[in-house]
A = this chain, B = another copy of it.
Amino acid sequence: MEKLKRNTKAKQLIMSVLANSPSALCYDDFERRIPARMDKATVYRILQGFCDDGVVHKISGENGKTYYALCHHCSSERHNDSHLHFRCVRCATILCMDEPISISPLPSGYTMLEASCLVSGYCPDCLPLRDEKHLQPTKTTTT
């Protein structure tokens, strides 16, 4: 039998943080944005719960951290994760782009179920600054 869910303060807080952020967030981001004290375990459990409900999806960054963002076109049955994630090498934010990705054809024999794609580059806010002083992409800690 399905465990019934409760609408708690903690969940509301986490959800509002997610809803108010244009970019995907990692645990530290939540910690910083939540005024009230909230345990690490609680934050992770709530986020995991949202993922199980199909409301939130995870993005694993190259830094070993997991980022969370609201799903826009997902259901609990089917996660539509096959879209693009963008990481700005200058301001370090991670964005979900709703555009679906098209992958160049796989070698024959391979079947694609899902694709998660993390593109790095400059976001519109940071692009104009690119040549500020011959700025190097902040150490592209290579994948």
Contacts and interface: CB of A to CB of B under 8 A. Distances in A.
A93 to B, nearest CB: 12
Interface stretch (A1-9, A15-23, A37-45, A101-109): A101-109
Interface in A34-90: 51, 57-62, 64, 66, 79, 81, 84, 86, 89
Given A64-B64, A104-B102, A112 B121 contact: yes
Stoichiometry, copies per complex: 2
Interface residues of A, number: 45
Contact of A114 (B102, B109, B120): B120
Residue from A79, A109, A142 whose CB has the most chain B CB atoms within 10 Å: A142
Given A60-B62, A123-B109, A117 B103 contact: yes
9 contacts: A79-B142, A97-B107, A109-B124, A110-B124, A112-B120, A113-B140, A114-B119, A114-B121, A117-B117
